[in-house]
């Protein structure tokens, strides 16, 4: 189904208000539209919304389409930040443009490459897709939370994300900053990783706030730690 950008943006607004903000009803005034506006007529024609007086509701088909629109938008944000290093102040405008360029199915590829992120850069949930249930695609990810990395996996810190601002401040205060090279050393009993010449041990909640743009490493697929490369690196750590 091909919709105009204006119609897709209305769907996104309806989703965020009805499904996430849990607003009981949306009026035309709430979305700054009138019943005669072309995008509203377009959504009616595709049976994506129904109206009663000044109130709008999503149909079952509209709920699915609006969820997909939100998913594309937030994956576009994630891609711009995680892979293209876009600046946050330009994120919203560029994401709106980018999401409309995604053809059906492309968002699944992007989601897989990003490691099936659960939230956008603003912390809002990304509705899961079919690809999120296919764990066999995990090795194709580009960005991963530290808690999902394997020992000896390498990368650069892409961003820090937590609902607790104190956690972010603590990490930044000790030098854990976006752009820094990072290597996970072990996951148990605590998460131990190295940034620069310094090793850190943190609990799972702190590790979950660190997102890493991964670097391909031929030794990271050796679960038994038997490759000579691994033994040599561990020997240097002493």
* 40-97 tens-digit pLDDT: 999 999 999 999 999 999 999 999 999 998 998 888 888 877 766 555 555 566 666 6
- Which pLDDT score is estimated for 91? 55
Which residues in 44-190 belong to E strands, given as ranges?
49-52, 55-58, 143-145, 154-160, 181-186
The confidence band for 215, taking pLDDT boundaries of 50, 70 and 90, is confident
Confidence of residue 126 (pLDDT cuts 50, 70, 90): very high
pLDDT at residue number 92: 60
> Quick one: pLDDT at residue 217?
56
pLDDT at 168 over 70: yes
Three-class secondary structure of residue 212 per DSSP: strand
Fold of 1-141: Arc Repressor Mutant, subunit A (1.10.10)
> What are 195's strand-pairing partners?
182, 198
Cα–Cα–Cα angle for 192, 198, 200, nearest 5°? 25
Which pLDDT score is estimated for 132?
A: 82
Sorting pLDDT into bands at 50, 70 and 90, what band is 238?
very low
Q: Is residue 203 predicted with pLDDT exceeding 60? A: yes
pLDDT value at residue 95: 60
Express as a percent the part of the chain with pLDDT over 70.
76
pLDDT at 46: 95
User: Where is pLDDT greater, at 167 or 137?
Assistant: 167
Domain coordinates in residue numbering, the chain:
1-141, 143-237
Report how far residue 112's alpha carbon sits from residue 92's, in angstroms, rounded to the nearest whole number.
22
Cβ proximity of 76 and 102 under 8 Å: yes
Q: How many other β-carbons are positioned within 10 Å of the β-carbon of residue 85?
A: 12
CATH-assigned architecture of domain 143-237: Roll (2.30)
Length of the chain, in residues = 238
Closest CA to 192 of 201, 183, 180, 181: 201
Do domains 1-141 and 143-237 share one topology? The answer is no
């Amino acid at each position: 189904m091909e919709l105009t950008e204006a119609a897709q943006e209305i769907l996104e607004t309806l989703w965020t208000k009805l499904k996430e903000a849990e607003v009981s009803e949306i009026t035309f005034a709430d979305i700054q539209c009138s019943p005669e506006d072309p995008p509203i007529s377009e959504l009616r024609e595709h049976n994506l919304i129904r109206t009663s007086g000044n109130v709008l509701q999503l149909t079952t088909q509209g709920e699915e389409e609006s969820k997909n629109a939100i998913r594309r938008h937030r994956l576009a944000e994630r891609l711009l930040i995680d892979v293209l290093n876009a600046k946050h102040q330009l994120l919203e405008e560029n994401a709106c443009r980018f999401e409309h360029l995604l053809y059906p199915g492309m968002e699944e590829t992007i989601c897989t490459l990003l490691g099936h992120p659960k939230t956008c850069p603003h912390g809002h949930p990304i509705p899961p897709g079919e690809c999120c249930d296919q764990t066999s695609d995990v090795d194709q990810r580009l960005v991963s939370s530290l808690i999902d990395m394997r020992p000896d996996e390498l990368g650069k810190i892409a961003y820090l994300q937590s609902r607790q601002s104190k956690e972010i401040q603590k990490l930044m205060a000790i030098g854990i900053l976006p752009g820094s090279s990072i290597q996970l050393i072990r996951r148990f009993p605590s998460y131990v990783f190295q940034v620069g010449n310094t090793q850190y041990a943190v609990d799972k909640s702190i590790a979950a706030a660190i997102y890493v743009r991964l670097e391909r490493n031929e030794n990271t697929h050796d679960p038994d730690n038997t490759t000579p490369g691994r033994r040599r690196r561990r020997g240097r750590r002493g």
